[in-house]
Amino acid sequence: METVATMRADNASLRKIQSKLVQWELKENPLAPLTATQSDFINRLTDLANGNVPASVGSAPPADVSKDHASNEELPASLEQFKQSACVIDTTQNFLSWYNSIDAEILEHFDDVYLEYYEQLRSRTSECDQMLQEIDVSLDSLRQLTQEFNFVSEKTSSLHQASESLLQDQTRLSDTGDEIKKRLKYFTQAESISQRLHNPTFSVSNDTFVHILNTIDDCIEYMRVNPSYSEASTYAVKYRACLAKATQMMKTYVFGILSNATAQVLTPKGSGVPRSLEALDQPKIGDPTADAAFVLFYGKFQASSPRVKRITGLIEERLDRSPEYEQLLGELHQSYLTQRATIMRSGVDQAIKDLAKKHKGDHCALVRSACAFMVHICQDEHRLFYQFFAKHSAQLIIYMEGLCTILYDTLRPYIIRIDHLETLAEICSILKVEMLDEHVSYSPESLEAFAKIVYQLLQDVQERIGFRAQNYLESDIRNYRPSAGDLAYPEKLEMMESIALSLQENQHAPPQLRRADSRSSIASGMSLASLDTTPSTIDPALKVRAGNSPADMHGMWYPTVRRTLVCLSRLYRCIDKSIFQSLSQQALAHCIHSVSTAASQIAQNRTTIDGELFEIKHLLILREQIAPFRVDFTAKETSLDFSKVRTAAYELLQKRKQLFSLGSNNALLEFLLDGTPQVREQLLDSRKDVDRQLKMVCETFITDATKQLVGPVLTFIEAAQNHLRNQPGGGKTAAVASAGTAAASSGQSTGMALRMAPFAAPQQISSIIQECLRNIKSKLTGLQRSMQLYLANKDTEFILFRPIRNNIIGSFVKLEQILMLNAYTKDDLTIVSCPSAEQISVLLSSVNLAGGTMAEQPVASFGSKVQPVRKISTSSSIGSNAAETQPAKAPIEKKVSFDSGANMVVEIERVDEAEVEKGEEALVDVKEAAFKHPEPAAVPE
């Protein structure tokens, strides 16, 4: 190393000398400036040293100069000598002598200049030789110096190269040392970290703990990435031990904080501290009890959260580094939730029990308050948890499910003992709408566990509702035993009508209760089903004022109808659609059966018309009230048809000899193929059941009403047709009479048979006609009054009465045809006095006008005022000459359809079979009338 240092010093000195030499001849501020002559002389020396001898161009002028100079110097000497000489030139001889001497002297001294110059040259030559020798010596010295310089340069270059190599080696070794030191750092820190962690005074709250934890993580990761290093596995075990110690310290630290907070909550200081969580349920602003309860159950833990949050934050940041952190975080979650469960379980249990005592007997208030309390608890617990931890934990959901299970265990015994459907429905609405749809949807994350428990509770409530609904439908609807007041029809309607009239008079209302202005019970108010469905589905234009008919009042509804609609409206939003469809079918079936039973009893107690109108009215109510329910009332019923099994078994017995046949006609194989029972699917539609029952009742009502008014005529027509059929060849005549298409000459031989029959005598027929006319005049008003009282809707009344009116007119038309086709003379016809269709129509209209109720309406009302006027014409005219001269023509009836307010005149063949029209047309028109005012009536709760 000393040699290297010496070489570095010499090298530095040499570089310094070189830099100084370079500075000698700098153009600016040189260290040794030379003149031009000096530079020229040095250049000449350089040329001589290199062997280049320049020509002596400037040597002559100096000789001449010296010669002139010598002459100048000698002339004064000669003159001086001449002056100093004693000779006197007086003569020419003297002058010549002198001149000769001078000339000799001049000649003598003529070569002195050259000699002197020669000597000078010799001296200069010797000087040059000497200089050349010195130059040679200098050149030798320079050569030696050059050699030495080259040697030194080579040595210096070698030194530089060696120095650079050494510097590179030094840098490489330094980097290697740093790298070794850097890698060795992961091995050398194990002992120091272990010592610090095992130091009793070292705490997790120390600021250096984070650095130590980072170092442990880095070292473990380094050992994992480089398992091939020497003793890497050994040091990995050491660092794992350090990490275990660090995690144990963090666990102990957090456990201590949580245990301390739990102890402060369980053993609070002060006598006024509340011990129950009930104060947290719907706290009031400024309520000291609620504030104290919140501080007790949550304030202590919130005060400890910053210290725990610091540790849990370190752990959560390192979850992806080591599984120990994930395990530690899980243990901290478990410890925290265990401490909270120790505090909250008893408190929540006691609070819910206190609420149960507070709301004893009021199950809805209990469910609402208990669920609201649990909502607050779950939200507070969720908020408190995230003050300690940042990561979500599944254990939190389990913990809160445990708290909510207390709610479930407390409420379920109450729910399974509730028998009242409305209470169950309200509880279901509370759980489904208020809790799940409102609270849970607003904060689903914090109420996830609460939602699960509430959903289970909701399923229990729905199951209880379904069970109680089935029992209710069986006991209170199907097996309902009506009282005398329930069957007091039409007395109840008449009483309510009189009460309504008196109330209107007292309130200075219009003096007359216009029955035609009242809406049907279907359209008298907001339906119960519409309250449970989307209200926007009802056209605002159709929301007219409620009717004032007694039939529209819900109190006048038959109890089973009201109960059915109330039950369905309660169930609609409480249970699933599939279950609702099943229950609704059962409810409608029971309701139809109950209404039919009640109608039969009313028919026995009062009249058949009352029973039928009662049933029609309530079926219309039922049909309209179930319309807003947005569910399909259709259900698929699957059954097995074993009819083919019996046939196949019979064929098998007939083919015993072919049981073991090897051909295609093997009896056993045919039995297996043909004897398979078939699966049959049948669609059951409750709406169609209502429609079917309504159609049947309407047909029965039309038939009974027709019989009540013109029953004797119908009986005579039937007897006449039977009598004609029993006569020889009378089948054709009877058929002609029945169809109304025969010539005047057809059936002459058998026509007298009817004329001669005692029951078909003109006097008998006349009495029958008079009786029917009396019935029309006396009973039609009562029939219309009953229809108005029960149906309370002019459109429905008109539609139901139209086939009755047509049947009445058709019966007289048919009677007229029988008389004309069976040899009755003009006198007989005069005695019979069978009214024409126009006369019957006028009679019916006059009876309607006499009733005074329907004639005021602008819509056609049972043959009264119509726009255009309803016209019914017939070609037959009793007692006219046309009957004698012209054959009977089938009467043509012009009917006006009043559906949807249209006044269309349609010509059809005469009405022969009233049943055709009274069935299908009546049902369709009744349905249309029922839906003309779709604003249904509300059912009281």
Residue 508: CB atoms within 10 A of its CB come to 7
* AA identity, residue 71: S
Say yes or no to pLDDT of 453 above 90. Answer: yes
* AA identity, residue 550: P
- Residue 906 belongs to what H/E stretch? strand 904-909
pLDDT top residue among 852 and 465: 465
pLDDT top residue among 937 and 163: 163
Q: How confident is the model at residue 372 (pLDDT cuts 50, 70, 90)?
A: very high
Evaluated on CA atoms 824, 827, 832, 833, the torsion sign reads positive
Stretch 719-727: mean pLDDT, rounded? 84
Please report where in the chains the tokens 């031990």 appear, as a residue. 241
Q: How confident is the model at residue 791 (pLDDT cuts 50, 70, 90)?
A: confident
Say yes or no to pLDDT of 797 above 70. Answer: yes
* Nearest Cα to Cα of residue 464 among 411, 434, 405, 421: 421
* Nearest Cα to Cα of residue 927 among 799, 790, 802: 799
pLDDT of res. 28? 72
| Token pair belonging to 210 | 């984070």
Summarised one tens digit per residue, pLDDT across range 658-686 is 666 655 666 666 666 666 665 565 555 66
91 class by beta-carbon count within 10 Å (0-12 exposed, 13-18 middle, 19+ buried): exposed
pLDDT top residue among 779 and 935: 779
pLDDT of res. 207? 82
Say yes or no to pLDDT of 279 above 80. Answer: no
Please state which of the ranges 58-72, 202-216, 645-659 shows the lowest mean pLDDT: 58-72
Summarised one tens digit per residue, pLDDT across range 389-432 is 998 888 999 999 999 999 999 999 999 998 888 899 899 989 88
Stretch 118-139: mean pLDDT, rounded? 89
Please state which of the ranges 127-131, 324-328, 330-334, 730-734 shows the lowest mean pLDDT: 730-734
pLDDT top residue among 876 and 823: 823
pLDDT of res. 112? 76
Please state which of the ranges 296-305, 690-699, 891-900 shows the lowest mean pLDDT: 891-900
Say yes or no to pLDDT of 529 above 70. Answer: no
CA 804 to chain centre: 57
Q: 3-class SS at 151?
A: helix
Summarised one tens digit per residue, pLDDT across range 630-651 is 665 555 555 555 566 667 676 7
Stretch 849-858: mean pLDDT, rounded? 47
pLDDT of res. 807? 92
Residue 641: CB atoms within 10 A of its CB come to 10
User: Taking a C-beta distance cutoff of 8 angstroms, is the pair 350, 408 a contact?
Assistant: no
Q: Which residues contact 532 (CB under 8 A, 6 or more apart)?
A: 569, 572, 573, 628, 629
User: Taking a C-beta distance cutoff of 8 angstroms, is the pair 147, 105 a contact?
Assistant: no
% of the chain residues with pLDDT over 70: 69
Summarised one tens digit per residue, pLDDT across range 904-935 is 222 323 333 344 344 444 444 544 444 343 33
| Token pair belonging to 723 | 């009598």
Helical H segments across 855-918, by residue range:
882-885, 914-916
Concatenating the DSSP letter of every residue in 830-860 gives HHHT---HHHHHHHHHHHHHHH-SSTTSSS-
Please state which of the ranges 83-97, 196-210, 423-437, 541-555 shows the lowest mean pLDDT: 541-555
User: Taking a C-beta distance cutoff of 8 angstroms, is the pair 240, 318 a contact?
Assistant: no
pLDDT of res. 662? 59
Q: 3-class SS at 484?
A: coil
Q: How confident is the model at residue 65 (pLDDT cuts 50, 70, 90)?
A: very low
pLDDT of res. 49? 76
Phi, psi for residue 85 in degrees, rounded to 5:
-70, 155
Domain boundaries, given as residue ranges, for the chain: 264-478, 491-634, 637-685, 711-927
Stretch 607-617: mean pLDDT, rounded? 91
Summarised one tens digit per residue, pLDDT across range 482-523 is 888 888 888 888 888 888 888 888 765 444 434 333 333 333
Concatenating the DSSP letter of every residue in 532-563 gives HS-GGGS-GGG--PPP--GGGSGGGS-HHHHH
Concatenating the DSSP letter of every residue in 751-771 gives HHHHHHSGGGSHHHHHHHHHH
pLDDT of res. 12? 80
pLDDT top residue among 546 and 407: 407
Q: Partners of 905 in the beta sheet?
A: 896
**CA distance linking residue 318 with residue 328, whole number of Å:** 11
Say yes or no to pLDDT of 844 above 70. Answer: yes
Q: Output DSSP code: residue 685.
A: E
Q: 3-class SS at 678?
A: strand
pLDDT of res. 371? 92
Cis peptide before 934 (omega within 30 of 0): no
pLDDT of res. 887? 36
**CA distance linking residue 74 with residue 77, whole number of Å:** 5
Q: Select the highest-mean-pLDDT range: 15-29, 145-159, 506-520.
A: 145-159
Say yes or no to pLDDT of 609 above 60. Answer: yes
* AA identity, residue 904: M
Q: Which residues contact 625 (CB under 8 A, 6 or more apart)?
A: 522, 527, 528, 529, 565, 936, 937, 939
Say yes or no to pLDDT of 266 above 70. Answer: yes
pLDDT top residue among 803 and 823: 803
Average pLDDT of the chain, as a whole number: 75
Stretch 54-66: mean pLDDT, rounded? 46
Please report where in the chains the tokens 């007086």 appear, as a residue. 90
Say yes or no to pLDDT of 696 above 90. Answer: yes
- Please state whether beta strands 634-641 and 678-685 pair in parallel, antiparallel, or not at all (unpaired): antiparallel
Cα–Cα–Cα angle for 11, 15, 20, rounded to 5 degrees: 150
**pTM of the predicted protein model:** 0.61
**CA distance linking residue 42 with residue 37, whole number of Å:** 8
